[in-house]
Amino acid sequence: MDAKVKQIDLGFNAPTSNREYVDALLETGDCVRIEQEVDWDNEAGAIVRRVCELGAPAPLMENIKDYPGFKYFGAPLASYRRMAVSLGMDPESTLPEISKEYLKRTTGDIIEPVEIERAAAPCKENVWMGDEVDLCKLPVPLVHEGDGGRYIGTWHAVITEHPETNEVNWGMYRQMMYDSRTLCGAVFPFSDLGKALNDYYLPRGEPMPFATAIGLSPLAAMAACAPSQIPETQLTGMLAGRPVELVKCETNDLMVPANAEIILEGVIVPDVMVEEGPFGEYTGYRTSPRVPRVTFRVNCVTFRNNATLTISNMGVPTDEGQLLRSFSLGLELEKLLRSQGIPITGVYMHPRSTHHMMIVGVKANYAGVATQIAQLAFGSKLGPWFHMVMVVDDSIDIYNWDEVYHAFCTRCNPVRDIRVYDHTVGTALYPHASPHERKHSMGSKVLFDCTWPVDWDKTNDVPTVVSFKNVYTQEIQDKVVKNWESYGFDPTKF
C-alpha cells in the first residue's frame, strides 16, 4: 500500500464513513432519528423490516434498551435513493444513471488503499482484549422472531486472507452470537472464504485469522457484497474516488477499515462447528435449518465512541440484500458479457426477484445468442446466486417490468424457447430446493429466450407491437406528451 496515492481525489462527494453517510441521508430526508427507547429484542428488527417493506427512510435508533452509548442504523442501502447518496449523486438519480456511474468508476484507474497509524484510526478508540472481550456487552439484536439467535453480522464485512495466494477477501457472511466469545455462520463452499477454508485451513487443522468490520462506509459495504474481480479495498476506493484508509488489527496482520464502527478480531476454528440458524433470509423465507456451521472465536473487540451497529433485516423484498446484490450482480454480468463481444444492450436484475432472475437485452442478430448468454452467465463466478436468465431483444426496456413481462408471455415459446440445465451449483438458501439439494448446494437453471427467431422475416413474420411508442409517429407522440398536463392529467402521477 503506497501512501503516495493518498493524494488521489477524483472529486466525488461520496461519504467515506458510516457517520458521514448518515449525515448525508438526514440532509436529503432519507434517514429519520428515533430518540425514544427501542428494544434490541425484536423491536429494532421489526422497525427495520417495516421500513424495507414500505420504502421508508432509514432509521437511526439512538436509545437502545440495556445498551447506553450505542446506536442502531437500519436498512442502510435499501433504496436506490440511498444508493445514489452513497455514491455522492443526486438522490433523484435514476437507476440507469446510477448503473452508468458505477460502471464508469469501476472501469477506471485502480485506487490502492493506504495504511494509517493506530492512533489515527477511529475504530481504535476503545479496545477490549483477553478477559475484557464479551460480545454480550454489544447491542446484538434479535433481528427476526424465530431466528436461532442474536445476529451481530447482518451488514458488515468478514475480512480474511488466503495464505497461499495472499488474496484478501471482504465478504458478507452472516454471523450469529453463540456465546460471549463465539460467533457462527453460514459459509458456502463456492464462496471465497469457503474455498480458502476447504483448500487450506480445514485439511491442515489450522485456525484462520479473521476480522469482522461492522458499520462500514456504504461503499465499503457495497464492495463486500459485489461479486467483482477487483479486490474490495481497491473497489471501495474506485467507487469513492479516493483511497480507503486501513489500519492493522491488534491480534493479527489483517487490515481493516479505519473508520468502521466496530471491529471483531479472532480466528476461525477448524475442528469445531457449533449450531447456527435458522435465519430470515434475502429470499423472503426462513429456509436454512439449525445445523453445525463455521465457528469464529473472538479474541479482541475495538470500537468507536458512541458506536453504531448496522442492521440489515432480510426478508420479503425489498431490502439492501436484494437491491444491492441485484445491482452489482447485474452490472458485473454486463461487464462479463461485453468482454466476450456479446451484442447486449444491458443487464438488470429486479430486486423483487431476490436476485434470482437476470434480464438481458440483446441485439439478436445471430442464432443461439440467448443460449450463449445463459451459458456464460451460469458458468461464471456469479452463477450460483441466480437460476433464471431471461433474454429479450433490444426493443424492450429491461428496466420496465411491464414490457419485460409482456415479452415473456408473448414471445417465449414453451417448447422452443425454454431450456433447462440440471445438476448445477446452487445455494442452501433456495426456497424451491429440496433439503438434500440445500445441504449439498445443488441446483438447476433455466433460460427463457424471449427474442424473435432470427430466421423470421421482420416484415411478415414478426408481429407488430401495438404501443404508444411503436405505432404513432414521433410528431404525434411529442404533441401528446407536450399537451399532457393541459389535457387535465397530473404529470407527477401519470
Closest among 309, 356, 352 to 151, alpha carbons compared: 309
Give the pLDDT score at 419: 95
Rounded-to-integer distance, Cα 363 and Cα 26, Å: 43
* Predicted pLDDT at 11: 52
How far apart are alpha carbons 106 and 226 in whole angstroms? 11
Residue whose C-alpha cell reads 446484490 in the numeric block: 325
For residue 30, how many C-alpha atoms fall within 13 Å in the half-sphere facing its CB? 23
Cell of 176: 450469529
Which of 69, 141, 32, 58 minimizes the C-alpha distance to 304?
A: 69
Helix axes 320-339, 218-225, angle to 10 degrees: 60
Collapsed DSSP state (helix, strand, coil) of residue 312:
coil
What are the sequence ranges of the domains in the chain?
3-311, 340-463, 469-494
pLDDT along the chain (494 residues), means of 10: 43 88 97 95 94 93 97 96 96 94 93 97 97 97 93 97 92 96 92 90 92 97 90 96 97 98 96 90 79 96 98 86 82 91 93 87 94 93 87 94 93 95 83 81 92 91 85 90 90 79
So what CATH class is 340-463?
A: alpha beta
Task: Tell me how far apart the alpha carbons of residues 494 and 485 are, in angstroms, rounded to a whole number.
Answer: 10
CATH class for the region spanning 3-311: mainly beta
**E-assigned strand segments in 363-438:** 388-393, 418-425
The Cα–Cα gap between 142 and 135 comes to 14
| Best CA proximity match to 321, nearest among 378, 282, 363 | 282
Is residue 359 within 8 A of residue 347, CB to CB? The reply is yes
